[in-house]
Amino acid sequence: MVSESFIEKSDQTSTHCYKIDSLCCDDLLIKTGMINFLVEYIWLVPLYGLLGAVFSLPWCFGFIRKTGPRPAAYINIFMTLLSFIHDGVVFSHIWQQPTQSIIFPWFSIADLDLSLAIEISPVSVGALQLVTGISLLAQVFALGYMEKDWAIARFFGLMGFFEAALGGIALSDSLLLSYGLLELLTLSTYLLVGFWYAQPLVVTAARDAFLTKRVGDILLLMGIVALSSDGAGLTFSQLQNWAQTSPLPPFTITLIGLALIAGPIGKCAQFPLNLWLDEGMEGPSPASIMRNSIVVSAGAYVLIKLEPVFNLSPVVTDALIIIGAITAIGGSLIALAQIDLKRTLSHSTSAYLGLVFIAVGLGHVNIAFLILFTHGVAKALLFMSAGSIILTTSGQNITELGGIGSKMPCTTLAYMTGSAGIIALLPLGMLTTFSSWFNGNLKVTWWLLIILLIVNLVNAVNFTRVFRLVFLGKSQPKTKRAPEVPWQMAIPMVSLTIITLLAPFLTLNYSLSSSTSSSMIVTYSLPLIMVSGLIGCLIGAFIPLRRGWNRPIQKSLRVIQDLLAYDFYLDKIYEVTVVAFISNLAQFTTWCDRYVIDGVVNLVSLVTVFSGNTLKYNTSGQSQFYILTIIIGVSLLIWSILSGQWQNIINFWSLF
């Protein structure tokens, strides 16, 4: 009896367990199906931001007034949150999995096949996660920063458009698609820089930023057309295979490579197309957060994917290294002479993007990705801190600020953490990145270490100088009442501060990899980099700073200050060279059109009118006169045709 009841109970238990297991299997299948659906439709993530921009239109155009413009902001923040969650689920699923591709056929005729390809890999999805994450924090930050702006709906709509273009570039595996998205990025930059279009300086800055980028975009398009006409595919994976068996001569591939790097030069604000980022600071600070962290990184992202093509020409790789070195050192020095808070930070952005160009020129692609990530996170935090100061004090001249450290602790901590994340002094993001560069697994030279030491030292001086002027010292008239920012701005700053502190752990596996070299440069590189950051901080802490008068009395120092403050007078050089040439050429073509082309046209018309008026008097009505005219005309025509052949005809008849 006991055994029978035991058997019956066991059967019930097993049946119950079987039902539970079947339910768990069903839940697992549903979960797996949902994840596969999200992975397959990862291309929807950039469209979320675009939908947010579209949904903002009723408030942008004033069709809806009763609710105020804030619902447009909430819609865009919600769509960005949705894209962040979608991409986060996909990123956690495909981590350490092989690359997948999704191809959308677009146009095909004869040998021309234009397809739009999407790459699903840990790198592309991770880049998209960075885009959506910083965009989400920047939009929440903008909710407090733009609270009293009458065009807040238009701003958030443009931010959604901004995010859509950036997200598409992160996922794109097609050079053609990336070019189209870079064009949209140029347009959105123009609209955001010129957001406050009632100010003449803002309009000028937006125009200059747009035209400067267009120079690089046109040359990039030339390179794309040349690649497609020479048999190369327009996806990055096809370009990598094509580069291994490229049939092009060295001169041709050099011209194509130089054209291809022109686009990233403009997007990344590299010499000689670096002036637009300085003028781009006229836009709202939340847009500057995006622009100086991930927008400039978008051009570098495309540059990194084109690295196999650049390796075909030593001239192109040398050009990348030279341009990157000039921008890295020059941008760091220019930042030292700036007194505008955002401009002191924007020039350092150009400097660190110059290091990315050097890494790509050397073929160190992984290091380029690490620099983009660590710099992007830390620089976004720095611009959040700068935006908080500007909103609270209604000023951004650092000589008019001071004593903010005790009044705005959250902002102060954000600035300190962001600066430490960029200066390779503490074990934060940039130090682990540089240690990965000099861990012995890559071929490095002393000149590379010297460039890094100069950039690290000068930027340490700059950040320390700004910290002393803005956060330390006595309170100035604009900072006597400087309360901490509201929670909409404080929460993103605290969140990004934590992310900046955790960034080294994401790059730790590179720095801990085994070294294959014991050379002197590998041994002493990391201590030298840390010492350069320490020396820079000490110089910035003890150099005399001027508040009331920011120009030195010594003429030599004033010349150096003006040289750096006015960007080495690069805009003046453009005025007397490129601008003057184009202006004179336009005046010459106008003169030719007015006096030469129009003169020929007017002469033909006068001859026609005169000949017509002359011939009308020959209309007599006599047929023999018309026949005589025809005979004379035909004779003259035959004479003109045979005028050069008369000697041959005479020689022919002489044979008989």
Place of tokens 């870079």: 182
Give the Cα separation of 288 and 281 in Å (integer).
7
Cis peptide before 272 (omega within 30 of 0): yes
Q: DSSP alpha helices (H): ranges in 306-394?
A: 307-310, 314-336, 341-362, 365-393
Is 83:117 a contact under the CB 8 Å cutoff?
Answer: no
At 136, list the tokens.
């989400």
The pLDDT value given to residue 112: 65
> Among all chains, which residue has been given the structure tokens 């390179």?
223
Cα within 13 Å of Cα(552), Cβ side: 12
Q: From CA 69, how far away is CA 149, in angstroms rounded?
A: 10
Q: What's the confidence (pLDDT) of residue 13?
A: 44
When pLDDT is averaged across residues 489-515 and rounded to a whole number, the result is 77
As a residue count, the chain comes to: 656
pTM of the predicted structure, to 2 decimals? 0.84
Are 48 and 79 spatial neighbours (Cβ–Cβ below 8 Å)?
yes
Q: Would you say residue 175 has pLDDT above 80?
A: yes
Q: How far apart are CA 324 and CA 258, in angstroms?
A: 14
Cα–Cα distance measured from residue 408 to residue 483, given in angstroms and rounded to the nearest whole number:
6
Given a cut of 60, whether residue 14 has pLDDT beyond it is no
Handedness of CA 167, 171, 176, 177 (dihedral sign): negative
198 pLDDT band, cuts 50/70/90, is: confident
Please check whether residue 314 is in contact with residue 363, taking contact to mean a CB–CB distance below 8 angstroms: no
Contact in structure between 171 and 119 (CB atoms under 8 Å) = yes
Cα 179–Cα 182–Cα 183 angle in degrees, nearest 5: 90
Is pLDDT of 82 > 90? Answer: yes
Q: How many helices (H) and strands (E) does the chain have?
A: 29, 2
pLDDT at 436: 85
CA distance 142 to 642: 83
The percent of residues above 90 in pLDDT, for the chain, comes to 20
Per-residue pLDDT, 20: 44
**pLDDT tens readout for residues 573-623:** 888 888 888 888 888 898 888 888 888 888 888 877 777 777 666 666 667
pLDDT (0 to 100) of residue 647:
64
Percentage of the chain beyond pLDDT 70 is: 87
pLDDT band at residue 457 under the 50/70/90 scheme: very high
Pinpoint the alpha helices (H) of 56-199. Answer: 57-60, 70-94, 122-145, 152-171, 175-193
CA 455 to chain centre: 21
Q: Which of 436, 600, 558, 449 is nearest to 508 (CA)?
A: 436
CB 153 within 8 A of CB 169: no
How far is C-alpha 567 from the geometric centre of its chain's CA atoms?
20
Annotate 185-243 with three-state secondary structure: HHHHHHHHHCCCCCCHHHHHHHHHHHHHHHHHHHHHHHHHHHHHHCCCCCEHHHHHHHH
- Structure tokens that stand for 92 in this block: 């956690």
**What's the mean pLDDT when you consider all of the chain?**
82
Using a CB cutoff of 8 Å and minimum separation of 24, what contacts does 98-105 make? Answer: 100/39, 101/173, 101/237, 102/40, 102/42, 102/43
Tally of CB atoms within 10 A around 587: 10
pLDDT in tens, 130-166: 999 999 999 999 998 888 888 899 999 999 998 999 9
Q: How many C-beta atoms lie closer than 10 Å to residue 600's C-beta?
A: 10
Distance (Å, whole) CA 540 – CA 471: 14
Long-range contacts of residues 335-340, Cβ cutoff 8 Å, at least 24 apart: 335/458, 335/459, 335/462, 336/458, 336/461, 336/462, 336/465, 336/564, 337/561, 337/564, 337/565, 338/565, 339/397, 339/398, 339/399, 339/550, 340/281, 340/396, 340/397, 340/398
Which two three-digit tokens encode residue 494?
A: 């605290």
**Res. 497 pLDDT band, cuts 50 70 90:** very high
Checking if the pLDDT of 169 tops 80, the result is yes
How is 14-57 classified by DSSP, letter by letter?
Answer: HHHHHHHHHHHHHHHHHHHHHHHHHHHTGGGHHHHHHHHHHHTH
pLDDT of residue 382: 93
Residue from 303, 279, 159, 163 nearest 212 by CA: 279
Cα 47 to Cα 29, 44, 50, 165, 293: the distances in Å are 27, 5, 5, 9, 21
Q: Evaluate whether 13 touches 94 at the Cβ level (below 8 Å).
A: no
